[in-house]
Amino acid sequence: MVGSVASDIKTAATQKLDEAMAEVRSRTGDAKDSVANEVNDVAQALRRASQELRGGSAQERTLGTLASSLADVSDQIRDKDLGQIAQMVSKVAREHPVMFLGGAALLGFAASRYAKASSTGSGPSGTTSGTQQGARPAASFVRGGPDGQAPGAA
């Protein structure tokens, strides 16, 4: 009797663990795809920027190279599982710390862009304009008052 109850509990716990792991895999897969899409969007923007520059300039070549590299990274993110991605990131961080920090900054930019795009109606009257009703934009503080004069200038 006790063995049967223990076996039933073990089976139920194993089943719940499997269900939880499937949910985690699903959510990490969605997040992985979202990150890959953001990286790909940045690569496309860099590619468009490089096409607008003079043909053969150093800036054009640099942006083109960055765009190609980011497109490759996007594909690798889609094709690899989370453990493989963690190993790749760890290896890059050890071998190329400056590139790793640049990538981390890019990832932070993409994450903030994603978070901003997915927020809903957080501003006044359901808008997401970033300024509250009656508030002056931050740029007016940099330039001075609304008339463009420095604060305290008469």
Q: Buried b / exposed e across 81-105, counting CB within 10 Å, b at 16+?
A: eeeebeeeeeeeeeeeeeebeebee
pLDDT of residue 136: 44
pLDDT (tens digit per residue) in 54-106 = 778 888 888 888 888 888 988 888 888 878 888 888 888 899 888 888 878 87
Give 4-35 as a DSSP string: HHHHHHHHHHHHHHHHHHHHHHHHHHHHHHHH
Question: In this structure, which long-range contacts are made by residues 4-7, counting pairs with CB atoms below 8 Å and at least 24 apart in sequence?
Answer: none
